């Protein structure tokens, strides 16, 4: 399978296959805010010196406010939430891990790599008797399903009674955090993973967070080692997450662009599924053919090898991109006879 069918964002691979130049492509293959805010001014010292503990503490303070973390929660910071996804299973005794399916595939890969028995779980009612860890993505990637906070807390309590753990990946929660569990982190049986780059549109900065009980968060920090997060990432994260007015503006603008994107999809005769602002899912027979027809028009989307009728579409930047998407979808659908 080619690289761009494994994860979104591999624009170079798409250009190599379908031609064109970087500036001619519309990359809708990820769930990343396409309009990041202006970067804060950074002192040259943050690039020249090893990160100081004070900078880490400043970021954690901003993150606590931004996430609404509870007083009992500890926060571990990492160079991207992917680093936490890969690391966390290695800190848990190998056992059965049930992972909501379909979901972000790196969770299952990481648990298998750490020696866990991985079981796909289609819904919350499918908890097995031997399950020690449950992994949920909320809102779910790629189908945009949302799960109620009360429902997930009940599951965390159930797992905690047997020494188990609920891991909730809230990578796409920031745009509308109404069901976040970040305020509940710190209670037994719960770990919450949060992303920075998706909401702020700065995925290349590589910054992620885990919220949970102090002992497990300390184990994550110890395994990551000193200076795990760069000085520039610490500074940018603290500045942007601590700017309440900026956050409110980003949420408003993301909601407006979500409406534009879904309007373009609907204008082409397709239905957008899911409740994740930064992406939409469409279901159409022959979605891989639609992916390729769009790529020939230099629009990159996200197909799925195990869901041949699904195509995930990220946010457009503005009305011009929305019109380009609507037109290309209509032409591509006619081309493939869908």
* Residue 171, pLDDT above cutoff 70: yes
17-44 confidence digits (pLDDT tens)? 999 999 999 999 999 999 999 999 999 9
> What value does the mean pLDDT take over residues 183-207?
97
Find the mean pLDDT for residues 132-146.
96
Architecture of domain 3-30+246-336: Alpha-Beta Complex (3.90)
Residue 1: pLDDT band with limits 50, 70, 90: very low
Nearest partner of 132 among 165, 86, 108, judged by Cα: 165
* 311 touches 302 (CB < 8 A): yes
- In this prediction, residue 201 has a pLDDT band, given cuts at 50, 70 and 90, of very high
> Cα(57)–Cα(36) distance, rounded to whole angstroms?
24
pTM, to two decimals = 0.94
Element (H, E) at 312: strand 310-314
| Cα distance between residue 311 and residue 234, in whole Å | 35
Alpha carbon of 220 to those of 59, 113, 115, 209, 246: distances in Å? 17, 17, 18, 10, 30
* Contact between residue 186 and residue 74 where contact means Cβ atoms under 8 Å apart: yes
Q: How confident is the model at residue 6 (pLDDT cuts 50, 70, 90)?
A: low
Q: How far is CA 318 from CA 34, 154, 194, 304, 332, in A?
A: 10, 41, 27, 26, 21
pLDDT digits over 303-317, tens only? 998 899 999 999 999
What confidence category does residue 10 fall into, taking pLDDT thresholds of 50, 70 and 90?
A: confident
pLDDT class for 3, splitting at 50, 70, 90?
very low
Q: Tell me the percentage of the chain whose pLDDT exceeds 90.
A: 93
pLDDT at 64 over 70: yes
Return the pLDDT at 123: 85
How many CB atoms are located within 10 Å of the residue 18 CB?
A: 17
Task: Tell me how far the alpha carbon of residue 237 is from its chain's centroid.
Answer: 17
Residue whose C-alpha is closest to residue 237's, from 209, 196, 273:
196
Q: Could you report the per-residue pLDDT of 242-284, keeping only the tens digit for each?
A: 999 999 999 999 999 999 999 999 999 999 999 999 999 999 9
Q: Cα separation of 314 and 139, whole Å? A: 14
Q: Residue 135: CB partners within 8 Å, gap ≥ 6?
A: 97, 98, 99, 100, 103, 107, 111, 167, 169
Domain ranges of the chain: 3-30+246-336, 51-242
Least confident piece of the model among 7-21, 26-40, 64-78: 7-21
CATH-assigned architecture of domain 51-242: 3-Layer(aba) Sandwich (3.40)
CA distance 144 to 152: 16
Question: Per-residue pLDDT averaged across 162-190, rounded?
Answer: 97
78 pairs with which residues across the strands? 208
Q: Looking at residue 7, what is its pLDDT? A: 66
Confidence class for position 5, pLDDT limits 50, 70, 90: very low
Looking at residue 338, its pLDDT comes to 79
* pLDDT (0 to 100) of residue 4: 43
Split at pLDDT 50, 70, 90, the class of 2 is very low
pLDDT value of residue 154: 95
Q: E strand or H helix at 281, and its extent?
A: strand 279-283
pLDDT band for position 128 (cuts 50, 70, 90): confident
User: To the nearest whole number, what is the mean pLDDT of the chain?
Assistant: 95
């Amino acid at each position: 399978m080619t690289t761009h069918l494994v994860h979104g964002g591999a624009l170079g691979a798409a250009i190599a296959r379908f031609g064109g130049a970087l500036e001619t492509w519309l990359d809708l293959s990820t769930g990343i805010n396409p309009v990041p805010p202006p970067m804060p001014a950074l002192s040259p010292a943050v690039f020249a010196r090893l990160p100081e503990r004070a900078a880490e503490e400043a970021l954690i303070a901003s993150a606590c406010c931004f996430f609404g973390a509870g007083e009992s929660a500890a926060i571990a910071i990492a160079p991207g939430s992917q680093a936490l996804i890969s690391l966390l299973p290695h800190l848990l005794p190998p056992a059965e891990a049930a992972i909501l399916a379909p979901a972000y595939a790196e969770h299952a890969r990481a648990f298998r790599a750490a020696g866990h028995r991985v079981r796909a779980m289609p819904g919350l009612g499918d908890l097995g008797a031997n399950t020690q860890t449950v992994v949920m993505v909320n809102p779910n990637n790629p189908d945009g399903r949302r799960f109620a906070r009360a429902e997930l807390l009940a599951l965390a309590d159930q797992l905690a009674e047997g020494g188990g753990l609920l891991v909730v990946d809230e990578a796409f929660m920031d745009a509308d955090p109404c069901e976040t569990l970040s305020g509940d982190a710190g209670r037994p049986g719960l770990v919450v993973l949060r992303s920075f780059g998706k909401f702020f549109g700065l995925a290349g900065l590589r910054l992620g967070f885990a919220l949970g009980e102090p002992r497990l968060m300390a184990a994550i920090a110890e395994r990551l080692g000193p200076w795990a997060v760069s000085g520039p990432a610490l500074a940018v994260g603290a500045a942007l997450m601590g700017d309440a007015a900026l956050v409110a503006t980003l949420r408003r603008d993301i909601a407006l662009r979500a409406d534009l994107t879904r309007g373009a999809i609907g204008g082409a005769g397709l239905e957008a599924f899911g409740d994740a602002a930064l992406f939409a899912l469409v279901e159409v027979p022959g979605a891989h053919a639609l992916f390729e027809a769009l790529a020939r028009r230099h629009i990159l989307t996200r197909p799925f090898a195990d869901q041949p009728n699904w195509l995930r579409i990220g946010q457009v930047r503005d009305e011009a991109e929305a019109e380009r998407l609507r037109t290309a979808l209509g032409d591509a659908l006619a081309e493939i006879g869908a």
